Amino acid sequence: MPDLSAAHDAAVTDRARLAGSAYNGDRDLAARQSLYRWQTPRYDLPGLVAERLSAVRGRVVDIGCGNGTFLQRLRQDRPDLSLLGIDIAPGILAHVPGPVAVADATRLPLAAGSVDGALALHMLYHVPDIPQAVRELARVVTRDGVVVASTNSDRDKAELDELWRRAAGDVLGVDRGPARISLGSRFTLERAPALLGEEFSRVEVVELPATVTVRDPDPVIAHMASYRAWADQQDAPFDATIDRTRALVAEHISRHGAFEITSRAGVLVCRR
């Protein structure tokens, strides 16, 4: 079950934490993104997003653009588009080719109906007021514009959640430790259609089920360690739990040849 406690919400939406630590640079985000190199089938998510914008002409804004992965692909595939990247974290924008702007998703510095397409990719769960962010998306796009959002299922990477609880339990000397923080639980693939449907009459869900198979602990450890900005929320010693996680994954790979993770993500294409 997703953790919807007030403390959890405060931790995953705190602007100072997001801008000053979690996304001050792209190291942790890149570590989470890199896990998908070992995914089967291997989805080209930037390509899928570009395809959903194939009929769009004019201006596209990437809200919560992070390290610019999707902007880079759109600049390559769609040089005809006018692109703008927006994020609340100045640090992560430092190496993203412009134009970019620092702004809040709930108060976009854009005129009504001023963009033809908008992206909100794996970021709405970080917004304190998700309905207001959805209203802003609807406000800034044209009447026939397209909004593409993405997120994970509440069943995504369940093996990593169980791995953390086992490792934390070993560190704490209990059978099963506390759950790790879930960044996406406020805006899961299961909840997203209803939230987006408040402003958009058509919400198409494109599910992207896959399996991540690793034969070395490093990609798993890099992914788990990328949550360091929320170490104080984990209710277990972070570094010790990471170390124990490495040992458990190495042991599993030694016995079974690989460690498998169930990936459940999806893209939501929204129109008026």
Q: What tokens appear for 39 in the block?
A: 């995914």
- Could you tell me the pTM of the whole model? 0.94
Answer whether residue 236 is part of any domain.
no
User: Which CATH number fits the domain that encloses residue 205?
Assistant: 3.40.50.150
Q: Hey, is 191 helix, strand or coil?
A: coil
Q: What pLDDT is stored for residue 147 in this prediction?
A: 98
225 phi, psi to nearest 5 deg:
-70, -20
The domain of 18 spans 6-154+182-209+264-271
| pLDDT tens, per residue, the chain with 272 residues | 444 588 889 999 999 999 999 999 999 999 999 999 999 999 999 999 999 999 999 999 999 999 999 999 999 999 999 999 999 999 999 999 889 999 999 999 999 999 999 999 999 999 999 999 999 999 999 999 999 999 999 999 999 999 999 999 999 999 999 999 999 999 999 999 999 999 999 999 999 999 999 999 999 999 999 999 999 998 999 999 999 999 999 999 999 999 999 999 999 999 99
- Overall domain count for the chain: 1
Distances 183 to 179, 188, 244 between C-alpha atoms, Å:
12, 10, 22
Answer whether residue 192 is part of any domain.
yes
Answer whether residue 13 is part of any domain.
yes
Q: What tokens appear for 247 in the block?
A: 């040992």
Closest CA to 60 of 43, 44, 77: 77
Q: How many CB atoms lie within 10 A of CB 136?
A: 23
Answer whether residue 250 is part of any domain.
no
Q: What pLDDT is stored for residue 1 in this prediction?
A: 40
Q: What pLDDT is stored for residue 5 in this prediction?
A: 83
Answer whether residue 36 is part of any domain.
yes
| Contact indicator for 28, 180 with CB cutoff of 8 Å | no
Q: How many CB atoms lie within 10 A of CB 233?
A: 18
Q: What pLDDT is stored for residue 171 in this prediction?
A: 98
Answer whether residue 23 is part of any domain.
yes
d(Cα 225, Cα 31) in Å, to the nearest integer?
9
Answer whether residue 118 is part of any domain.
yes
Answer whether residue 227 is part of any domain.
no
